[in-house]
Amino acid sequence: MIGADQKYAAELLTRGELVAIPTETVYGLAANALNEDAVIKIFEAKQRPKFDPLIVHTHDINEFEKYAVVESDIVYRLAEKFCPGPITFILPKRDVIPGIVTSGHDTVGLRIPNHQLTLDLLKNLSFPLAAPSANPFGFTSPTTALHVQNQLGEKVPYILDGGKCEVGLESTIVKVVDNDVEVLRLGGISVEEIESVIGKKVKRVKTSSSNPTAPGMLSSHYNPGVKVEFGDTQKLLSEHKNKKVGVLAFDSNRFENFENVIEVKVLSPTGSLSEAAQNLFSYLRDFQKSNIEILITEPVPEKGLGLAINDRLKRASVKS
């Protein structure tokens, strides 16, 4: 059921049930992060492997110390600038956080979502919310309440409708090690923005893994339900000239002369990376309804949010 009844959502969560919640990034599938039985329902509904940890959501930076140990002032500096917002901090966890949330790791991902409906909900709860994206594991993340309903249906008792997500990409995940910032997942806050706050280059690390220590690091992810190839569009179109092809383009439709191209979607006609990020998951999902055999995607400019967009496109094209 879809609705905007925050009180009802709180009642369900308090009883240990699942509720899909809106954030600025994507919709999350939420449960009481301190209740192991409730958290297990997340893994069951998503068919998510239990070795893939979850992000814990709260409403204020002052809540972080309840659930984790904040050892560096860099965390507070970044939080002051970007919270509420699309950034997640990997921190040493306190015992109150069950091991199932962190997949047995001694760290937990904490973030403050920038969506007023969910912030108000969190303020009225006596516990934080574990909430990965509200979609079957490995598939495209939802950016509207209807996306959640179409993908998870009866598995979610209630979907709190907060409209379309404004950012459309998941949060950037960071970890502070010896006063250096590591980026574990590219997302809604760019590397350049982080560097402008900390006053130095970030220490870049692998953004995907088969044995993740943070959420969203698995190499094969974001499957839109059709085979995806990422790269040089002209070359790929020539290679697949005998197939029905869809194209996800960045800023223009340059594919009218290819007879095998039956649908093109342009992420941002104005060349805006923010607009492209907002449209990315919705457009990927739309191709499920197309009569295509393969989806070809092209890189966006490798700067700012473009790094995160290209990361998602590459992982959508990885064969699991």
Q: What pLDDT, on the 0 to 100 scale, is given for residue 289? A: 81
- State the pLDDT at residue 219: 53
Q: 222 to each of 95, 126, 218, 280, how far by Cα in Å?
A: 32, 33, 10, 11
Q: Which residues are annotated as part of the binding site for ATP? A: 48, 107, 133, 141, 185, 222
Q: Is the pLDDT of residue 85 over 70?
A: yes
pLDDT of residue 138: 79
What 8-state DSSP symbol labels residue 8? H
Q: Is the pLDDT of residue 199 over 60?
A: yes
Q: Does the pLDDT at position 118 exceed 70?
A: yes
- Residues in CB range of 65: below 8 A, 6 or more apart: none
Residue 220 confidence class, pLDDT cut points 50, 70, 90:
low
Known binding-site residue numbers: 25, 48, 57, 107, 111, 131, 133, 141, 171, 185, 222
Mean pLDDT of 24-31: 97
Task: Report how far residue 116's alpha carbon sits from residue 23's, in angstroms, rounded to the nearest whole number.
Answer: 8
User: Which pLDDT tens digit goes with each residue over 269-294?
Assistant: 999 999 999 999 999 988 988 889 99
Kindly indicate the confidence band of residue 205, based on its pLDDT and cuts at 50, 70 and 90.
Answer: low
For the annotated binding site for L-threonine, the residues are 25, 57, 111, 131, 171
Tens-place pLDDT, residues 148-175: 999 999 999 999 999 999 999 999 999 9
Confidence band (pLDDT; 50, 70, 90) for 51?
confident
Is the confidence at residue 196, as pLDDT, over 70?
A: yes
Domains of the chain: 2-204 (3.90.870.10), 228-316 (3.40.50.11030)
Would you state the pLDDT for residue 74? 96
